[in-house]
Amino acid sequence: MACTPAHKLSPERKILPILRALERRYGVPRRRLWDPLEVLVHGVLSQNTTDVNADRAYDKLTRSFGTWEAVASASQKAVERAIRESGLAAQKASTIKAVMRWLRKRGEYSLEFLRPGQAEQIESELTSIKGVGIKTARLVALFGFGRPLFVVDTHVLRVTMRLGLIPDGCTRHKAHLLLDRLVPNEKKYSGHLGMIWHGRRTCRARRPLCDACAVRRWCVFVSRPK
């Protein structure tokens, strides 16, 4: 009886071999945590732009105001000017100001009060803020608090769709739910980063380097008739 080709395996049978192959190619990232509020603000700035632009905008924001209290007290226009390099400055400044108002009501410009909470509670609290979506909330949970929640960005969405781990045309919200169930908790950190690196270096949106792909054998995209 013939074996099922790797690209036709179910997502449940594919996922671990794929994650191990990505770790062999890109290495196992060392786990570290960042300040949760920094992760939240940077996550807002990273929407629909490059990491370079988000980093520049974050650096200018923190240099311009110095403290989160100062950001909270500043006008939205002043925040917009500081983060212009990230793009969508008006929308992102509105979200950052909403975050600061939310924290001001709590009496502290910190997210440490969320640290005892479960992953789902952290996500729920943060997505209650206008402009903060599931991806940004999960970035905070994963990189700020070390909670096992899988995060889907543009690269992860593309890679997992091409690998047949999620359906074609899957929304970002649905992808979060599907992949959170599919990826084991102990692989959520390395899996998220490995898929981002793979999406940037190999499985690019345009002209993907399929011949150099570490997970080619499981890929639905490359196996389709051209």
User: How high is the pLDDT of residue 197?
Assistant: 96
pLDDT band at 1 (very low <50, low <70, confident <90, very high): very low
Query: Could you give the CA distance from residue 187 to residue 183 in angstroms, rounded to a whole number?
Result: 6
**213 burial type by CB count under 10 A (0-12 exposed, 13-18 middle, 19+ buried):** buried
C-beta separation of 76 from 94 below 8 A: yes
Torsion of CA 154, 159, 164, 168, to 10 degrees: 30
- The token duo for 177 is 């739910």
Q: Which of 14, 135, 187, 188 is catalytic?
A: 135
Judged on CB neighbours under 10 Å (0-12, 13-18, 19+), 60 is middle
Q: What is the pTM of this model?
A: 0.91
Tell whether the model's pLDDT for residue 221 goes beyond 90.
Answer: no
pLDDT one-digit tens code per residue, 2-14: 578 889 999 999 9
Closest CA to 134 of 87, 186, 180, 203: 180
Residue 135 is among the residues annotated as catalytic for this protein: yes
Tell me, what amino acid is at 128? Answer: S
Q: Which is nearest to 127 in space by CA: 217, 226, 43?
A: 43
pLDDT at 226: 55
Mean pLDDT confidence for 161-181: 95
pLDDT average, residue stretch 96-122:
94
pLDDT (0 to 100) of residue 50 = 86
Average pLDDT estimate for 115-138: 95
Domains and CATH numbers, the chain: 6-30+151-223 (1.10.1670.10), 36-145 (1.10.340.30)
What confidence score (pLDDT) does residue 201 get?
95
pLDDT in tens, 27-64: 999 999 999 999 999 999 999 888 899 999 999 999 99
